[in-house]
Structure 1
Amino acid sequence: MRTARSIVRALPVLAAALALTAVPSSATPSWGPLGPANPYLGPLGTATMHGDAGSSDVTPLAGPGTDRVAPAGDPMAAACPTILQGSDGMIVALCTAIIDRAPTVYLFDPAKGPIGPPAAKMSLTKGSLLGGVYAYLDNENRLVVVDGERRLLRIAHNRDASGKWGLTVAENTDLTAAIPEGDAVTGLVPDWSGNVWFATGAGLVGKVGRNGAVTTHQLPAGERVANSISASPDGVAVATTHALYEFAAGGSGAPTVKWRASYDRGPARKPGQLSWGTGSTPTYFGPGDGTEYLTIVDNADDQVHLLIYRAGTGELVCNQPVLTEGGPGSENSPIGIGRSVFVASTYGYPYPTVPGDAGLAEPAIAPFSGGMTRVDIDDQGCHTVWENDVRSAAVPKLSAADGNIYTVLRLGLGLTTPLDGYAYGVIDPATGAVTAKQPMSATIIADTLQMAGLTTTDGELWQGTITGIMRIR
C-alpha cells in the first residue's frame, strides 16, 4: 500500500521526467528514474557538483550531443571544481586560486559569452585543500558553503539599482563551537527538512537545524572523510577512509548512525587518488524511487570492487569486480541510475597536489591507463555489462534526456606528460563505445583534473579546468 509520504516523494521524480524534452538514443529507450528532487536545493541536475542530493551524476538536461562542438575557454588562474546553475540561469562557480589556493566565488551570465569576465566575484577564507570544493545552490539560488573560518555561508547574487551584479553573504552561521580548530568541512548537503548536514576531514558528522542549532556525531578515531556526502529522503550517506555510513536524525535531532559497513581499503593510497580508502562520494540510485541502493568503490589492492548496499538497512547486495581492463582505482563518484552503475578509473592520474593527510601513494606513480565499467543489478545480483579503455580526465555525467555520457578525454600514452592533449568525449552508455571524440586546442583547455562538468539548461557543457573554465556548445 502506497503511503501519502511515498506519493509525495514520487512527485519530484514525475515532474523531472515530464520535464525531459529530448529523445533518448534508440539503443537505450529510457534512463531512469531520476532521484527525487530535494525541495531545499536548486534545480535538479544543476544545483550540486554531482547533479542532485543523491550524487547520481545524472542530469535531466540534454548536452551538446555528438555533433561538432565549439569550445571556448577563460583563463582565470584558478581551478574550478564546482560549477552550478540556479533557476535564474546564472552560473555560480567555486574555484581555488592557483597562487594561494584561496576559494573564490564567481558569478557568470551565460548570455554574455563566451565566459568572462565574471559578473561578480567574492574571495572566501582559505581552509583545507578539500574545504571550499564542495558546495551547493539552495532553493533561493544562494551558494551554500563552509569557509576556512568554519562559517556556514549562504551567498546570494543580486543586481543593484544600476543593474550591476554583486555577491553578498545573506546568512552566516558560526560553527566554531562544534568544529575544533584545525578541522575543516569536506562535504555538505541539505536533507528533506531543510537541515544542512556536513562532514569534516577528521570524521565529525554534523547537522545544522533551520533554527541554527548544531548537533554532531564523532566517528571512530582514524576515520577521515575525503569526499562529499549525499542524501535521500530517508538518510544521509557518509563514506570515510574505512567504512560507509548511513545517518538519520535521532530522537534528539542529533545525527544517529543507521548502519555502518566497512570495506577493503587496501594497504595504502593509490596513485590517482586523494586519500587512502574509497574515492567515491556515495551514490544513491534505484529502479523504484531512485534511492533504494547506495554504492561506492572500494580500494582493494589488486582489484577494486563496486559495492552496492540496500539503503536503510546496509545489506550488501553485491560485490562486483570493476575496472578489470583499466587501472584498479577510482577517485570519482559512480554514476547511478535505475539498475545501472558506471565507474571510471582515475588510477595513475597525475594530481599536482594532494591533501596533507593523504599519505604516500604505493606505488608513487603509475600509468594512467583509464577504463570504465558498467554494472547492472537485478533480482539475481550484479553483472558487468561492458568495460572499455576510455581515459576520462573529468567526472563523467550521464544525460537522461539524450542518453549520452559526457566527459573530457585525456590523449597521449599511459605515462602522462604536460604535453598530453584533451578531447571532448561522448560515450554510449548502452555499449561503452565512444561516439564522439573531438580534440581541442591547448590554448582553449588545460587539464580537467578529474573535475565535474555542468550541463546547462541551454544544452552546453561548462567544464572546470586547472586554470579556469571551458564552455562547450
Structure 2
Amino acid sequence: MHGDTGSSDTTPLAGPGAGTLSSSRTALASACPTVLVGADGYPVALCTPIFGQVPTVHLLDPDDGSSLTTLQLTKGSLLGGVYAYIDHQDRLVVADGSRSLLRVGHHRDGEGRWSLTVDRSLSLASVIPEGDAVTGLAPDWDGRVWFATGGGVVGTADDTTGTVKALTLPAGERVANSISTAPEGTAVTTTHATYLLGSRDGAPKILWRKAYDRGSARKPGLLSWGSGSTPTFFGPAEGTEYVAVVDNADRAANLKVYRTADGSDVCSVPVLAAANGPGSENSPVGVGRSVFVAGTYGYPYPAVPEGAGDSVPASADFAGGLSRVDVRADGSGCSLVWDNALRSAAVPKLSTADGLLHTVVRDPLIPGTRGTSLLDPFRYVQIDPADGRVTRSAKVGVGSLYDTLQMAGTVAPDGAYLQGTVTGVLRITAR
C-alpha cells in the first residue's frame, strides 16, 4: 500500500503524463484500500464489500480496470487484511481472519480463464490469541514475513519452513497501522511509541523504543488514540537513515524524525498549521531529506475500529492540510519548507520518475467552507513538491461513490493512476 517495505509512499513509475486527463470507475460495491501491481502488470485489489464485509481479492484487467476474477478470504477485524504486498512471484501476501498467512496467486488456464487461488498458507494461531488479528505485515531481508497484530503481538513467519516466532509489546499498546522494514530492522508504531525491532535466530527483539505524545484522546479523523502513521523510512544516502511518524499531541500534530541506527531524536516539527487541523491518519511520504505530511483531522470516516474510543471533540470539519519538512543536510535538525490547506482525501504518492505528488482531493460543496457532504466533488491532482502548488487537476466524480477515504493510490506501468474508493477503484489516465 505504501509503495515499498519502508513505506516511503513513493513510486519509480511516472503517473499520467501529457494529454487530456480522464477517469473511469470500476464499481465493486466494496471499499478497496489496497490496489497493487506486480511485475506482470496485473493489478490486484484487496477490497471489503459494503454488504457482508468479507475481504475479497480482485484481479483487475490492466487495460480497463474491470474485475477478471475474485477470491473471498476469511473475515477478520475492520483493519485486518487491509495491508498486504505483492511478492517476487506476483502473489498477494496477506493475513486473513483465520490468523493465517496466505500467498494468493493468479493463474490462467489453457482457455484463457483467470482464477485466484491460495498457493501457500501458514497458520499464525500459535502466537496470535483468539480475538486478535494481524494489522500489518511486510517482508524482511532474510526471507521472512514480519507481522504485527492489533493487540501488540509482533512476529516473524517463514512459510517455507513453517517457523513462527513472536513477542508481545507492553500491555495497553495497540498497533493500528501497518509496519515497515529496512535492512536495519522493522519499525512498528503503537498507540504509545515507535519501535525498531531486529531478530535473533528469527525471534523478534526490541532494538529501541521512542514514546511520543499521544494526546488526551482520539481525534476526529483518526482511527485510533495515538499516531495514525505507518512509520516511514527515508534518507538521502541509503534511503533508510531516518524513521518518521506524526504524533497525536492535543494542540498540534508534530512530525517526529528519529535516527534509525539508535532511535535518537533528529527533530520534532509542528505541521498542518495552515489548515488548523492537528491530526494525520496517513503515513508520511519520505524521499531524500524530505517528508510530506497530509492531514486527515475531521475526515468523515463511516466507521472506526472496535476499541478505538470516542473522539474529542465528537466531530469536526475536515481540515486537510499538506506540509513539507526537510532534514538539514548535516542531520542536525529539520525545517518546515511549506505548509498549505490542501484537502487531500487520499494518501499522496510521490513519483521519483515525474517528480510530482499525486493524490485525490475532496473539495467542499460550498467553496470556501470546510464542511463535508454526500455531494462533495473529488479531483485527481498533481502537486509540485518544491512549493506545494497544484499544477494539474481533473474532476473524477461527485458524491460518496467517489470517496477515496484516505486510501493510498498506486501507479501502474502504463502510467495509469489507480485509486481505491469506498465503492471500487478509479483508473485515471492521460490521452
Structure 2-normalised TM-score?
0.96
Whether the 8 Å contact between 1:282 and 1:296 is mirrored in structure 2 is yes
Determine if the alignment matches structure 1 residue 309 to structure 2 residue 258.
Answer: yes
Instruction: Report the identity percentage.
Output: 58
Whether the 8 Å contact between 2:135 and 2:177 is mirrored in structure 1 is yes
Whether the 8 Å contact between 2:374 and 2:400 is mirrored in structure 1 is no
Q: What are the superposed Cα offsets for residues 422-458 of structure 1, whole Å, 9 maximum, x if unpaired? A: 1111111000111112223338951000000111110
Superposition pairs for residues 168-183 of structure 1, below 5 Å? 168-183=117-132
The total of aligned residue pairs comes to 421
**Residues of 2 paired with 1:66 and 1:381: CA distance?**
38
Whether the 8 Å contact between 2:284 and 2:292 is mirrored in structure 1 is yes
**Residues of 2 paired with 1:60 and 1:146: CA distance?**
27
Superposition pairs for residues 265-414 of structure 1, below 5 Å? 265-326=214-275, 327-378=277-328, 379=330, 380-412=332-364, 413-414=369-370
Equivalent in the alignment of 2:379 = 423
**Residues of 1 paired with 2:381 and 2:18: CA distance?**
8
**Residues of 1 paired with 2:38 and 2:79: CA distance?**
23
Determine if the alignment matches structure 1 residue 464 to structure 2 residue 393.
Answer: no
> What SS does the aligned partner of 1:70 have?
strand
Whether the 8 Å contact between 1:66 and 1:426 is mirrored in structure 2 is no
**Residues of 2 paired with 1:441 and 1:222: CA distance?**
41
Whether the 8 Å contact between 1:65 and 1:426 is mirrored in structure 2 is no
| Runs (5+) with no aligned partner, structure 1 | 1-48
Select 2:10's aligned residue among 58, 64, 68.
Answer: 58
Whether the 8 Å contact between 2:377 and 2:399 is mirrored in structure 1 is no
**Residues of 1 paired with 2:412 and 2:325: CA distance?**
27
Whether the 8 Å contact between 2:375 and 2:399 is mirrored in structure 1 is no
Equivalent in the alignment of 1:15 = none
Whether the 8 Å contact between 2:232 and 2:285 is mirrored in structure 1 is yes
Select 2:45's aligned residue among 89, 93, 97.
Answer: 93
* Range that drifts further, 456-465 or 58-67: 58-67
**Residues of 1 paired with 2:215 and 2:289: CA distance?**
28
Whether the 8 Å contact between 2:375 and 2:400 is mirrored in structure 1 is no
Superposition pairs for residues 82-231 of structure 1, below 5 Å? 82-111=34-63, 113=64, 115-116=65-66, 118-209=67-158, 210-231=160-181
**Residues of 1 paired with 2:97 and 2:162: CA distance?**
19
Equivalent in the alignment of 1:449 = 405
Amino acid at match of 1:243: A
**Residues of 2 paired with 1:68 and 1:445: CA distance?**
23
Shift of 1:162: 1.2
Whether the 8 Å contact between 1:151 and 1:174 is mirrored in structure 2 is yes
Equivalent in the alignment of 2:188 = 238
Whether the 8 Å contact between 2:278 and 2:295 is mirrored in structure 1 is yes
**Residues of 1 paired with 2:61 and 2:19: CA distance?**
25
Shift of 1:249: 0.5
Structure 1-normalised TM-score?
0.88
Whether the 8 Å contact between 1:280 and 1:332 is mirrored in structure 2 is yes
| Runs (5+) with no aligned partner, structure 2 | none
Q: What are the superposed Cα offsets for residues 158-211 of structure 1, whole Å, 9 maximum, x if unpaired? A: 111211111111101011111100000000000011100000000000101241
**Residues of 1 paired with 2:363 and 2:338: CA distance?**
22
**Residues of 2 paired with 1:262 and 1:95: CA distance?**
33
**Residues of 2 paired with 1:401 and 1:74: CA distance?**
27
**Residues of 2 paired with 1:168 and 1:338: CA distance?**
39
- Structure with the bigger percentage of strand: 2
**Residues of 2 paired with 1:156 and 1:274: CA distance?**
31
Q: What are the superposed Cα offsets for residues 377-411 of structure 1, whole Å, 9 maximum, x if unpaired? A: 01231000001110000000101111110000101
**Residues of 1 paired with 2:134 and 2:400: CA distance?**
33
Shift of 1:75: 1.3
- Aligned-residue CA RMSD in angstroms? 1.2
**Residues of 2 paired with 1:440 and 1:446: CA distance?**
8
Amino acid at match of 2:377: G
**Residues of 2 paired with 1:68 and 1:372: CA distance?**
26
